[in-house]
Amino acid sequence: MDKAELDKIMGLYKSHLQVKKLLAPDTISLYLSSIKMFVSFCEKFHQKLAIPDKWLIENLGVREIEAFMQHQMNVLNWKRSTMVTCICGIKIFYQFLAESENVKNPIQHFKLPRDINEIGQRSIEINEINQLFEYSFEDSLQGHQQRLLLEFIYGLGMSLAKIIKIRTAIPELDEGQVRLYFQNSKYRDVPFSPVSIKVLKS
């Protein structure tokens, strides 16, 4: 993540919190710190999380958020109240990016579990998923399908109940998103990761 670009975005985000959200200075400081901690975590563990060397803040999603939460809880012993404040700041930040920078919000469907310990209980699962993202799938139709399923299911953070209701998925390569049609004929546009776009173009 380019530091100059991040500093520019953070300055605009701070103004947004001051002028439009009318938040107290202490709350603004906490929200800004949340973003910095999240970005620092992703930079430090980008290889373990299979994040490309060159990435943008909007490339991060549910998988990185959950890994960050797990780390803060297990290593720094964060309480739920601290975690809620941090995640709230990150979610508002992504909403700000979606509105001001015209980018897709990769965590728009993310919800913090009521029991924060659920994240810790899924630590093995998260590690296994990270290993899957590091795995090189075979260069075949089946291999591409497996990679796309991994990106769709975990990258979008959708529940199994929601996933099985998907009827059609239409990629919109130029928009960096995919349109999902469900059984009730409703559709939803969701952000599409650069890795998935690369697979579709191959």
**Domain made up of 136-202: CATH architecture:** Orthogonal Bundle (1.10)
64 vs 112, which has greater pLDDT? 64
Please say whether the beta carbons of 137 and 146 come within 8 A: yes
In the predicted structure, residue 192 carries a pLDDT above the cut 60: yes
Which pLDDT belongs to residue 120? 44
Q: CA 90, CA 96: separation in Å to the nearest integer?
A: 10
Residue pair 190/180 in contact by the 8 Å Cβ criterion: yes
DSSP percent split of the chain into helix, strand, coil, nearest 5 = 60, 10, 30
3-state secondary structure (DSSP) of residue 202: coil
Q: Cα 130–135–139 angle (5° rounding)?
A: 145
Mean pLDDT value across residues 168-183 = 74
**Structure tokens that stand for 156 in this block:** 């979008």
What is the amino acid identity at position 9? I
For the chain, what are the domain ranges? Answer: 1-122, 136-202
Q: Which of 4-8, 107-111, 139-143, 179-183 has the lowest mean pLDDT?
A: 139-143
Higher per-residue confidence, 112 vs 137:
112
Q: Percent of the chain, pLDDT > 70?
A: 69
pLDDT averaged over every residue in the chain: 77
| pLDDT (mean) for 73-93 | 86
Query: Identical fold at 1-122 and 136-202?
Result: no
Model pLDDT for residues 41-56, shown as the tens digit of each residue = 999 988 888 888 888 8
The CATH code of domain 1-122 reads 1.10.150.130
Note if the pTM is more than 0.85: no
| Average pLDDT estimate for 188-199 | 70
Element (H, E) at 156: none
Average pLDDT over residues 82-96: 88
Tokens linked to 194:
């650069």
In the predicted structure, residue 184 carries a pLDDT above the cut 80: no
In the beta sheet, which residues pair with residue 166?
A: 182
